[in-house]
Structures are given as structure tokens and as C-alpha cells.
Structure 1
Amino acid sequence: MTDFDDDTLPFDEFDIAPARLTIDLVALADNWREMADLSGNASTAAVVKADAYGLGLEDCGTALYEAGARDFFVAVVQEGVTLRTYAPDARIYVLSGVWPGQEGTFYEHGLVPVLVSEEQLSFWMAVTAEHGDHPCALHIDTGFNRLGIPLEDALAFADDVSRPASFSPVLVLSHLHSGDTPSSSFNRQQLESFQKVAAAYEGIPASLAASSGIMLGSEYHFDLTRPGIAVYGGEAVGGVSNPMRPVAKAEARIIQIRSAKTGETVSYGGTHRLTRDSRLAIVAAGYADGYKRSLSGSGVPIRDSIHEGGFGFIAGHRVPVVGRVTMDLTIFDITDVPERDVRTGDYIELFGPNMPLDDVARAAGTIGYELLTSLGLRYERRYLYADE
């Protein structure tokens, strides 16, 4: 057996990885600044839950902190603990609130629980009465019927003089369920409900708008906005051109290029039958890498309603997925790409600057959020910084 010294290897791991992911932190920071500009007089937070939408909490959190973000939202307490290392003086809100046994972690790491129910509210008041003042936020349900203290209960609590002096909300917030559809009447209904909340909690900052809400206009901005998907390059509002810069590019390496004859079938089930002599590129990514099985060119139920499957991009050409996407492999038809322009070892872009994230998501019958947060562990990652 031969021992290899890593220092003598001729290639960077990224250059030879089966699947790779490029994350442009400059674009990420620029997108956050754009959302801050759109937020007008409101302060602008950064939502970094779900490992910064699948792109890496440490690197993305650091880039956003260095861009000027000082308010962050995470989903669970451990995300907040991790982020604290990279955002030392930021205010970090935990959207799922607090459970008994976690209170010490909130105090130790300076995290702010977003109290999402009357049970959490009662628990946190008891905690602060015993252990001293610690900031919290109140999530009010204005019509989503997901998390949140019921509107009428929240309005009554605002006037409750019996709450302990150690109980210190630093934010009241709610969430729009149809912000991505500007024409929806629900947006106005929720806005009017939240205006009552903001008035009842006068003097406490208020937050209603995530990415799509920011784009609804200044009425929705209040004191703090909470952009998420737009910061990562995704569409926040349906049916309009996406103004955000792409942040992530996913690519898969071509393992083999093979020729197949008219009439032959491709992939599991033989659901795709070739209508011409074809060249097929088999690439090293599949549904285990978050490249959805529903992107298959045939053989999956979604093709009955969304007839066109997924596409990749290589050498200036969009190339279709043929047959079923499998766990580790996907097959693209590269017949229309000149043979001189593509060879084994090259990379096909799965989504990125040439294959917009949300276009790929639509072909899969889903949304960009899901594609990003479904990225597996097998991508070799490269982060692009301002000096590169």
C-alpha cells in the first residue's frame, strides 16, 4: 500500500468533488443590505435558522454580522448557542421559545426566547421572577393559526398590571401567511390586527415583515424587519422578477457519458424511452443530495401536472433530466451540447446563476426554501469572500 502525503495531492478537494456547492458571501451580504434599504427606517435583522437555510450558520452568520446585522433569528436554542460565537454582541432571538430545562442556556448565552404560547409566557414569568430580569419577545397570532399567543389574550395581557416587574419584552412580533401574494386580502387583515398589538404594547418595538412583507411597503415594516429567503437569493414574492443576487450554486460531476440508441429506456422503471440516438451524462448527485426525485423527467406523479422536469446547465446549454432521479445519480440528456464542449469530469449546474433556484424548485413542485434546506452533507463547500 502506498502512503500519500496530503500536501502532495495535485488537486483541491473542491475541484474533484462528486458534488460541490459554492456560496457567495458577498452576494449574501449585498442581499441583506438591499433588504435593509427596502426596510426604510426600520432596523433589519437576519434570519439564519436551519443552518442559515442550508448554507452554513457559521460562515453566513459571520458574513451577515460583518455586513452590519445586529439582530438575528434562529429556530432552536442550539442554533443560538452556535451563532453567539460569531455574533458576540448581537441580539439573538429563538423562534421556538423556551422549554423547562433550557432557561439556564438562555441566560448563559444571552439568548432571547420568543414566547409562542400562554404556557411559555407563564413559565418565563416564573423564571424571571426567580432568577432576575432577562429579555424575551412575544409572538402574537394574527391569523396564521401556527405559533403565537391568541390576539385577544395578547391584548388583554398588555393591560395586566399583575405581571412581574422582572418580565421585560423587548419585541412583539407576528408573521404574515400570505405575504408572498401581494394581492391577498389576508395581508391587510393581519396588518390591522398587528397594528392593535403594536398600539397595546406602545414603547416596545414591533416586527411583522419577513422578506415578502418588506416588499409590501412601509406600513408593514414597523420597527424591525426579518428578511430570510431573499437574503439567500430566493424569491420572496411570486410572479415578479427576483431582484436578489444568487448566493448558492450546486453542481454535480459527470461520472460517465454514454451513448444510447433510439427506443432504449433510461433509469429505473424504464419510464423514459429515447426518441433519438442520444448522449447521456450520468452525474454524481441524486435525492440523497437534496436534488428532488420529483425533478425526474418521467416516472413520477408530478409529471402529470407539471409536465416539464428538471434541467441542468453546462457549456451554455440547458440540459433536461431524463428518467427518474435516483438516490446518488441523475441522468441528463446532453445530445444537443457539442461533443467538444463537454467531457467526463465536467460539472453540470443543478441550480445557481444559470439555473435559478426557484425555477428548479417549481419543476420539482416545491419552493426554493426546501431545495436549500434539503442540501445533504456530501457537497464539498467553497465560500467566496470579498477579497476573492
Structure 2
Amino acid sequence: MTTWHEHAIFWHAYPLGLVGAEPVLDPAAPVAHRLPRLAGWLDHAVELGASALLLGPVFTSHSHGYDTVDHFTIDPRLGDRGDFDALVAAAHERGLKVVLDGVFNHVGSRHPAFLRAVDGGPDHPEAGLFRLTWPEGATAGTRPGYATFEGHEGLVALDHDADAVAELVEEVMRYWLRAGADGWRLDAAYAVPPSFWAKVLPAVRAEFPEAYVVGEVIHGDYAGFVAASGVDAVTQYELWKAIWSSLNDRNLYELDHALGRHNALLETFAPMTFVGNHDVTRIASRLSDRGHLPHALVVLFTVGGAPSVYAGDEYALEGVKEERLGGDDAVRPAFPDVPGQLAGDLEVLRLHRELISLRRRHPWLHRARTAPLELSNEILAYEVTAPGERLVVVLNLGDGEAEVGARAGGVLAGGADLDGDRVRVPGHGWAVLG
């Protein structure tokens, strides 16, 4: 049975930034109904060619969304449940699925359950939700130590060996799927034992068999994690790095190597592929030669996987992530109410639409494999195949014309001259061939 996510193309938005929410929640402030501003971008996502909306955190948090204080309410800086329901309904009316960001490795240090556990002592019923370390003889009012997420004191790690944590996560996931969501991105999934997800997900899937679940995994054994956890996919950071790094270094051997490893993953699952997200420097800023931005996009939309476009990358917005407090702000900017007011590169927007259209006309690319036809530091020609299907992609990073041997029926995108089994692509050019 084909499921919706097998041919999904995601438009990824970080709501708190996009709508210009305050950086820190003021619990005394009135609800700010900003989610309708995001609804103003749904037609843009559809025109781009996306079929799903990947939302960053929308639940009540203290600051950036990943320090949750209530999994069951919408962040008042964004709006309320009515605003959420209207957004989901508007997305579904346009044929867009909605995937939510689930922060289940940790909670914010202002989470009421954590505060009650800290105040209540080691015998408090909620103390078992967290990995707390109590001094000998501790009683109510004794301050414990606690495990954090990557050393951030504001992010309190949950105890994933506790049944109560599994029950909480199951409840949250099903609650919002019942509210109309179509799937989950599992934030920092790599920091959680795969066995935890294997315990939680069967109950979720029993009620919502078509829910898409993608885990954020940066390093390690992607296929092993998928097999052990039961998620549908993980984020393909290895390919992301190889794309921009190989273009910057003009070392397409690196990209070819990564595509070989990507093929192996596609034997068992289809990764979520991307060239940008809310956690990394934007691709337009990452590339040392903006002329090679199209090459990055061509790879994204012609290899197997579930492609995701981070909001603003389609306009070639710039932004550099910095390792400091507020260092994500540049890649999470506020957007105007409507797309026409956003100053960006319309030629890059046009290219996104062209390549996404090509992708949607060839849905078999979801699980297609690649094989190199010609390879050098500055030239990579690869064929993309599935049973009965074939495309050829040529990337040229060099100053001069590239001539490669490739059997092709015509130019589907980009620019090339065909002469029998020879394909010529201009300097810094690219082509997708039928």
C-alpha cells in the first residue's frame, strides 16, 4: 500500500521565527494570534510544489520552542488551539499534510512537572520522569542534580527507561494526531535510546497507521537506527554535508562517495534529504560560489529520499548560524505576511519550482538509486534509475565546457548540447536529461 509520505516534498517552517514572536515567553502577556500569518504562506508552499508542511515547535515553551513547558497547549506567542485547528484545516484544504516537531528527549527547566519533582524530593511521583541525582538523605526541598541535553541547564533530560515517560510521549503524539496532524519529527532522536521509540511507536501506529515519523539523527548508523527504533526515516545530514562541501572544495569525489552510501540507505528506507534547515547555516551563505547553488538543488531533487525545503531557501535567503546565545536568529528570521513582500532571489524561486515539478513528474525518484557515469574533481555525471526508469544528471563546477559520455533522450532542465552519446554542459552549468 502506498502511503502519502512516499512521494512527499516538505516545506519546512520555524513558526516562532517566521511570525516574529518574542524571544522569551511572558506568561502574563495575552495570547498573540500569529499563526494565521503562517496560513498566509500555505498557497506559496503549494505553488512551490510542496505536498507537506513540516512545522517547527508550536507547543508552549519558555524561549526557542525546544524548552517545552506544556506539550498540550499552543505557545501563546503563536496563538491558541483554535488558531492551530484553523491552520491544519487550511493546510489540508490545499492538499498539504502537516508534520509537527516533537521534543521528547527533554523539557524546559520551567516545566511544571520538573519544578514539582524538584520541590517534592526523591519520593515525589514525578521525580521518576527525569534523571535526577539526589544528595544522601535528601528530602522535599533538597535541590537535586539533573541530566541535561548537551550541557544546556535549561533543557532537562527525561528518563527514557521510565514507563511514565513512554506513556507521556505516546499520549502527546496521539493527542495531536487526533487533532489533525499527519506525522512527527522527533527532535534529537539520536539522544534517545532506539528501544524507547520501539516501545512508543507501535501504540501510536495502531491508531494512526499512516502517520509519518522522521527522527533527527546527525551521525552514526542511520539504517541501524531506523531498524531498531521503528521510525520511517531519519534526517540525511551526511548527504547534506557532502553536497555543500564538495561544491565548495570542487571535489565531486566526496559527493559521489556520499551518494554511494545514500544508495545503501535506500535499500531499507528513504531518508529525509535537505540542503538547509532551522539548525544550520543557510545554503546560500554556506556556498563559497553562489553560482553553484543550482547544483546543490539539482542533487536534492534528483536523488532518492523525501526532500525538504527550509522556508526562505527557495528565495536564496542568507543567514549564518553561530555558536552563541541567539546564534540561530539569523537563520530563523521573521517573514512578511505575504510572500510577495519578501525580498529574495526570484530566479532561485523559479528554479525550485522547476525542479520540484520535475520531481513530481517522476515520483519513482523517491527510492531511485544513482550510479556515476563520469567523475573528476569538477565534473560528475550520474544516472538515476528505478525499474523501467532513468534520468541522467550532469554537474560541471569547472570554468570550461564539460563533455561527458551519456545516452540521453533530451534536456529536461538546465542547459546542455546533445551529440549522439556525448553531452556538453557549459562551465559552471548543469543539466537533467531524460
Normalising by structure 1, report the TM-score: 0.36
Structure 1 or 2, whichever has the larger Rg, is 1
Structure with larger RCO (C-alpha < 8 A, sep 6+): 1
